[in-house]
């Protein structure tokens, strides 16, 4: 099995309007006998509801606890077992956020976009309108927005351009903590040397064209370009919190050399 190195850069900005950052992010890496693996996630607390930061925080702490317990076991699991495990934690998050709301007589919720990289594959579990993209020669959105405008675009009732300025664009059809049942979007794919990913809240993607997101990966100083892109989003009047995580996947040359040396010594 090929081993890969995963380089990450992440930023979460409160933005220009809100006083509280309701976004929560996770970037966790581990090195195991079957290669590097990691969990990367964005949870966007719903700005129109009370205590969005609490909702996203519950999701973050629940997944971090799961990761700490499961990270050594994940490489030995099947694809189905990994997806089932992630989904069970999302169901748990939904129950915890819902219960917190009932106990405190408030409405709160969060999006959840999780990217797990294990044994040369990526696994996605997603609810809401935060996004996960993959970049090769062009940008590919790996998640589907659980929003009213996305549904209308899919059904031909609205163009993509109309959806970006629609007053309905903040209406979610799925999120964590609001309903008893949630529908989780899952996706599995293989990774290869040179693959790049970005996870972002809608506060990041709302004000950017695909080409502008691609420019982050084309820049040699990705961290600086990411910061500059956040500033661009803020200058365009984005009212929400702004968060993004970028990943670079590279073949672990040192691991390959080590295996060759080990083979020669036999």
Q: Where in the sequence is the domain holding 115, given as residue range(s)?
A: 4-264
Can you give the pLDDT at residue 142? 97
Which residue shows structure tokens 């990774």?
191
Handedness of CA 53, 244, 213, 37 (dihedral sign): negative
What number of other Cβ atoms are within 10 A of residue 157's Cβ? 11
CB-count exposure of residue 230 (10 Å: 0-12, 13-18, 19+): buried
Can you give the pLDDT at residue 1? 58
CB-count exposure of residue 29 (10 Å: 0-12, 13-18, 19+): middle
The closest alpha carbon to 111, from 70, 59, 167, belongs to 59
Can you give the pLDDT at residue 258? 44
Can you give the pLDDT at residue 88? 98
CATH of the domain at 69: 3.60.40.10
The answer to whether the beta carbons of residues 112 and 125 sit under 8 Å apart is: yes
Can you give the pLDDT at residue 55? 96
| Mean pLDDT, rounded, of the chain | 90
Domain count, the chain: 1
DSSP string spanning 16-75? SS-SS--EEEEEEEEEETTEEEEEEEEEEB-TTSTTHHHHHHHHHHHHHHHHHHHTTTGG
Reported as type and span, the H/E element at residue 232 is: helix 222-235
pLDDT tens string, the chain, 266 residues long: the values are 577 889 999 999 999 999 999 999 999 998 866 567 899 999 999 967 779 999 999 999 999 999 999 998 999 999 999 999 999 999 999 999 999 999 999 989 999 999 999 989 999 999 999 999 999 888 999 999 998 988 898 889 988 888 887 888 888 999 999 998 999 999 999 999 999 999 999 999 999 999 999 999 888 898 999 999 999 999 999 999 999 999 999 887 665 444 433 434 44
Can you give the pLDDT at residue 35? 64
Can you give the pLDDT at residue 264? 40
Give pLDDT tens digits for 135-158. Answer: 988 899 999 999 898 889 888 998
Backbone angles phi, psi at 48, to 5 degrees: -80, -5
Cα 158 to chain centroid, rounded: 26
pTM (whole model) above 0.85: yes
Give pLDDT tens digits for 232-252. Answer: 999 999 999 999 999 999 887
CA distance 8 to 226: 12
Can you give the pLDDT at residue 255? 53
Q: Six-digit token pair at 146?
A: 């659980």
The closest alpha carbon to 15, from 254, 252, 240, 250, belongs to 240
């Amino acid at each position: 099995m090929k081993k890969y190195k995963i380089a990450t850069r992440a930023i979460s900005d409160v933005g220009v309007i809100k006083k509280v950052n309701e976004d929560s992010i996770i970037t966790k890496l581990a090195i195991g006998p079957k290669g590097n693996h990691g969990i990367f996630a964005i949870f966007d607390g719903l700005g129109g509801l009370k205590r969005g930061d609490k909702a996203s925080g519950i999701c973050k702490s629940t997944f971090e606890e799961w990761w700490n317990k499961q990270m050594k076991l994940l490489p030995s699991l099947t694809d189905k077992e990994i997806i089932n495990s992630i989904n069970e934690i999302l169901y748990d998050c939904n129950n915890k956020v819902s219960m917190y709301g009932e106990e405190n007589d408030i409405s709160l919720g969060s999006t959840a976009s999780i990217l797990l990289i294990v044994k040369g594959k990526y696994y996605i579990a997603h609810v809401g309108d935060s996004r996960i993209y993959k970049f090769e020669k062009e940008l590919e959105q790996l998640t589907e927005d659980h929003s009213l405008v996305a549904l209308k675009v899919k059904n031909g009732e609205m163009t993509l351009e109309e959806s970006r300025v629609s007053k309905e664009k903040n209406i979610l059809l799925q999120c964590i903590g609001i309903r008893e049942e949630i529908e989780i979007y899952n996706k599995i794919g293989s990774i290869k040397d040179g693959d790049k990913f970005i996870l972002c809240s809608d506060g990041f993607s709302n004000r950017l064209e695909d080409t502008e997101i691609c420019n982050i990966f084309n820049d040699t100083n990705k961290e600086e370009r990411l910061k500059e892109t956040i500033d661009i989003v803020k200058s365009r009047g984005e009212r929400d919190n702004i968060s993004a995580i970028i990943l670079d996947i590279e073949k672990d040359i040192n691991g390959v050399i080590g295996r060759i040396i080990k083979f020669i010594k036999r």
